[in-house]
Amino acid sequence: MKRRNTPTKEAVLNLLSASKKALSQDAIEKQLDIKINRATIYRVLNRFCEDEIIHKIVAEDGKQYFAICKKCEQPETIQDHFHFRCLSCDSIECLQIPVRYSVPENYVVQQTNCILTGICSDCN
Amino acid sequence: MKRRNTPTKEAVLNLLSASKKALSQDAIEKQLDIKINRATIYRVLNRFCEDEIIHKIVAEDGKQYFAICKKCEQPETIQDHFHFRCLSCDSIECLQIPVRYSVPENYVVQQTNCILTGICSDCN
DNA sequence: TAATTTATTGCAACATAATCGCAATAGAGT
DNA sequence: ACTCTATTGCGATTATGTTGCAATAAATTA
C-alpha cells in the first residue's frame, strides 16, 4: 500500500520531530494548530510505526506514547533503549541508555518496552 | 484500614500463587471457580499491591497483569526484574533477571516496568 | 450468643483509550 | 481532466479500569 503525503501526516511528524518527549494521541491533538480527528491521528501514528519512522511506548498508565528518537534516526546505534516517565511533569522521554538483558535458553526476544518512572532532572 | 479475610481474597491469592504466570483481571475471573464481580477483583488486586503481596505489570497491550513472584517472597533478592511476554501463548511471566540501568544526573528512579516480548521456550 | 462496627462486595454507571465500518475527500499517476 | 484508491471524519463500538452507593458479612465487643 503506497503512502500519500497529506497535511495531517506532515503536521504530526513535524510535531513529533520538534518534541523532545514522547507524545500521546491527545497531547498531539491538543498541540496541533489544525483540527485532526482522533481516529485519524491514531491511524497516522500507527502507519508511522509500521514504516518505522516512529516507535511506540506503552506506559504504566496503559496509554500509548509515540516518539521519534535516535533509534530511528541512527539505526546503527541504540536499538532498545530505556524510557523515562517523570511523575512530576508527566512526560516520557527516550533515554540514550541501552536495555541490556539475558534470557533463559530458547527464549527469543523480538522487542522491548522498558520504562523507568520517577523524577527527571528538570523537576529535581 | 484493617484487612479482613474473605473467600474472594483467598481465591484470588490462591490462583495467583498457583500460577506461574502473571494474570489479568479477566483471566482471573475466568479461571476462578466462584463468580466474582469485575470491580471486586480489581479492588482485591489493588489492595494486594498496596500490601506488596503481589505486583503489577502493564504490558504493551495496555493491560494490567498481576503476579506473585520472588520479588515479593524474597525481598532481599531481585527487586526490579524483567518480564517476558510470549506472543505465541500470550502469557506474561517474571524472569529472574534484574533490570540494570544508569540514568542521567539528577534523575531519580522510583519504579521500573520492563517487558521483553517474543517467543518463550515452551513455544519454541 | 447477640450486637456493633466497618471492611468488603455486587451492581450500575461512568471515564477513558483505542479501534472499526462506511461514506466522503483528496493525493498521485495517467 | 480523469481514474484509482489511500486517507480522512464521523459515529458507533469495544475494552479496560474506576467509582458511588446500598447491601453484605468479617471481626470485635458486650
Interval B11-56: pLDDT, tens: 999 999 999 899 999 999 999 999 999 999 999 999 999 999 999 9
What was the pLDDT predicted at A31?
A: 96
Residue B72 has pLDDT above 60, yes or no: no
For A71, other C-beta atoms within 10 Å of its C-beta total 18
Cα angle, residue B116 at apex, residues A53 and B49 outer, rounded to 5°:
120
Average pLDDT score over chain A? 91
Which comes out higher in pLDDT, residue B81 or B76?
Answer: B81
Residues within a 7 A CB radius of strand D: A 1-4, 6-9, 35-40, 43-44, 47, 62; B 4-7, 24-26, 38-39, 42-43, 46, 58, 62-64
Mean pLDDT of A11-29: 95
Cβ within 8 Å, pair A113-B112: no
Residue B75 has pLDDT above 60, yes or no: no
Q: Which amino acid is at A8?
A: T
- Quote the strand ranges of A1-124, DSSP E: 55-58, 64-67, 81-86, 91-98, 108-119
What was the pLDDT predicted at B77?
A: 46
Residues A112, B116 contacting (CB under 8 angstroms) = yes
Q: Assess A78–B contact: CB distance below 8 Å, yes or no.
A: no
Separation between Cα atoms, residue A75 and residue B57, nearest integer Å = 29
Cβ within 8 Å, pair A63-B58: no
Among A78, A92, A103, A120, pick the best mutation site for testing chain B contact (most B Cβ within 10 A): A103
At A77, the pLDDT band (50, 70, 90 cuts) reads very low
Say which range, A41-55, A70-84, B78-92, has the weakest mean pLDDT. A70-84
Residue B53 Cβ under 7 A from any strand C atom: no
What was the pLDDT predicted at B3?
A: 96
For B15, other C-beta atoms within 10 Å of its C-beta total 16
From chain A, pick out residues whose CB is under 8 angstroms from the CB of B82: 101, 103
Residue the block writes with cell 518496552? A113
So what's the ipTM on this one? Answer: 0.91
Q: Distance between alpha carbon B37 and the CA centroid of its chain, in Å?
A: 20
**Closest amino acid to nucleotide D26 (CA–C1'):** B4
